[in-house]
Structure 1
Amino acid sequence: MDLFDRTRDHVLALFRIVIGFIFALHGAATLFDVLTGPRGGKVPEFAAWPSWWAAAIQLVGGTLVVLGLGTRYAALLCSGSMAYAYFTVHQGNALFPIENGGEIPALFAWSFLLIAVFGPGKWAIDELFSRSRRSDSQHSEAAAA
């Protein structure tokens, strides 16, 4: 087993945490007019489609991904929201992301898809639950034997 194989889960966890954190910051900036403020210039009205919902997905989904809680589902939702943003906002302007300003949504969409497929890696709350389930099933199997 080489260095890349041994560190895979740790690097994946760092990737998950950084991507989720940056994504959550986008949501917080839009919803609460903090950091750089909303990208569109003003805070969206509560439940306004799609801006408020996109920012809520960014904040909540990004936070869940950082924590590693419901990671695969949260990452899939985040990926889908960014794919939606790319195709509805950017794709109509030009073919390639470099031309249409869609690099960030495209990178987020593919990054979250990667997390959804490969899982959270180490240091995830999900990992604690899976350990607990494995331990419970081992105890029940031992008791049944």
Structure 2
Amino acid sequence: MSHLVTTVRTAASTTADTVRPHLIALYRAVVGLLFGCHGAASLFGVLGGAHGGGTVPAGSWPGWYAAVIQLACGALVLLGAATRPAALVASGSMAYAYFTVHQQHAPAPLQNGGEPAVLFCWAFLLIAVLGPGSFALGSRLAR
């Protein structure tokens, strides 16, 4: 029985090691795409636009700069190019957004509407730590 348990654990561990880079890549792509869509909505008025319609005025602080970071970092993370630095910038921008925009209204994300900022902040921090996974453009260009 002990040999069977060891065999099953080894097989499960091998499968997890094989699948992990692909799951990280999928996670990176989904998070990057969603973040980039926020930037595109704010800059170009697509996908419902900024704050329910329209665009953010060019050069306005902090909205326009946040939208540029969202679009650029979202695209880089989606493609897996300069993934760690882009994810770190995106994470920092969402931490800034939470503490300067949302937290002043109420202490908890559920009360102040800051859940997306908190989730993106932690999602990008995880991507910055784990790296791009498989199918990253940066890895292919380095070869």
TM range (shorter): 0.7 to 0.9
Distance 1:95 1:45 in 2: 29
Q: How many residues align?
A: 131
Provide Cα deviations, 1:75-109, integer angstroms capped at 9, x if missing partner. Answer: 00000000000000111111211111100000000
TM-score, normalised with respect to structure 2: 0.87
1:57 paired to 2:69: yes
- Aligned position for 2:21: 9
Partner residue in 2 for 1:106: 118
Corresponding residue of 1:37: 49
1:17-32 aligned within 5 A? 17-32=29-44
Task: Please give the alpha-carbon distance, in whole angstroms, between the structure 2 residues aligned to 1:128 and 1:43.
Answer: 35
Percent identity, aligned pairs only, is 53
Aligned residues: CA RMSD: 1.3
1:16-71 Cα offsets, whole Å, 9 max, x none, are 00000000001001100011111265422212110000001101110000011100
Code of the residue aligned with 2:79 in structure 1: it is: L
Equivalent residue letter for 1:107 = L
Query: Which segment is superposed worse, 93-102 or 51-60?
Result: 93-102
* Partners of 1:95 and 1:41 in 2: CA distance: 28
Report the equivalent of 2:85: 73
Listed as ranges, the gaps of 5+ residues in structure 1 are 133-145
* Cα deviations by residue, 1:100-124 (Å, 9 ceiling, x for unpaired): 1100000000000000011000000
Amino acid of the structure 1 residue aligned with 2:121: A
Question: In 2, Cα distance between the equivalents of 1:38 and 1:122?
Answer: 33
Question: Which stretches of structure 1, 4 residues or longer, exceed 6 Å deviation after superposition?
Answer: none
**Structure 1: how far apart are the matches of 2:26 and 2:74?**
14
Give the conservation status (yes or no) of the 8 Å contact 2:45–2:53: no
